[in-house]
Amino acid sequence: MNILVFGASTSKTSINQQLAIHVANKIENATLNIIDLNDFEMPIYSFDRQAAGFPEQAHEFLRLVKEADGIVVSLAEHNLNFSTAFKNILDWVSRIDMEFLKDKKMFVLSTSPGGYGGGNVMEVGLKFFGFAKGEVVENYSFPSFYENFKDNQIINSEIDEIVNEKVKSFTNIVAATLAK
C-alpha cells in the first residue's frame, strides 16, 4: 500500500506536516511517500503562464498522486482557506488533469492552535477534493494542536482513539480497493 503524505503548508515547523506524518505512521503495512510542499514551488498560476507550459513541479506532483494508493493530507488554514502554496499547486495540477484525484482514497486532516482545528479549510478541502474526483473516506479536524500533541504524540486519549479508528477505517478501505 503506497500512501502519499503531506501537510499542505510550506512552514518548516508545520503542525500540519507533523500531524499528517504521525497519522500516516499509524497505517500498517504501508509504504509512506512523505513530501514537502517546498519542493513544489512554482510561479503563481495564470492562463498566460500556462500558455508558456507547465512547470516540471506540477507534473511531478501529479505523478506522485497518480502513483499513490491513498493520500493522507493535513490542511493548513490561512484566512479560512488553503495556504497560498497549496492552492497554487492545485491550480497548476488541475489544469493538467481536472480529475487528478480520480479513484484516490483520501484521509483529510486539518489542525490549528485553536479549538476549531482548521474546520473552515476542511470544508473548502472536502468540496475541492470531491470536485477533483477524490474520495475522502475519512476526515478529522484536530483541535488545539499544542494542547493535544506533544513530543510527536497525540496526548489526548479520546482524540487518539478517534484518530486510530479513522486510520483503521482508511486502511481497510484502501486495502479493499487494492484487493479488487
CATH of residue 169: 3.40.50.360
The pLDDT-based confidence of 97 (bands split at 50, 70, 90) is very high
Q: State the residue range of the domain holding 76.
A: 2-179
- Rounded to whole angstroms, how far apart are CA atoms 137 and 150? 27
pLDDT given at position 171: 98
**Residue 85: strand pairing partners:** none
Burial of 48 per CB tally in 10 Å (0-12, 13-18, 19+):
exposed
Question: What is the rounded distance in angstroms from the CA atom of residue 66 to the CA atom of residue 70?
Answer: 10
Q: Which pLDDT score is estimated for 34?
A: 98
| pLDDT (average), residues 142-168 | 98
Q: What is the DSSP letter of 6?
A: E
For the entire predicted model, the pTM comes to 0.97
Distances in whole angstroms, Cα of residue 60 to Cα of each of 40, 89, 171: 8, 11, 25
pLDDT band at 180 (very low <50, low <70, confident <90, very high): confident
The pLDDT-based confidence of 111 (bands split at 50, 70, 90) is very high
**Tally of structural domains, the chain:** 1
Among 121, 159, 134, residue whose Cα is nearest residue 69: 134
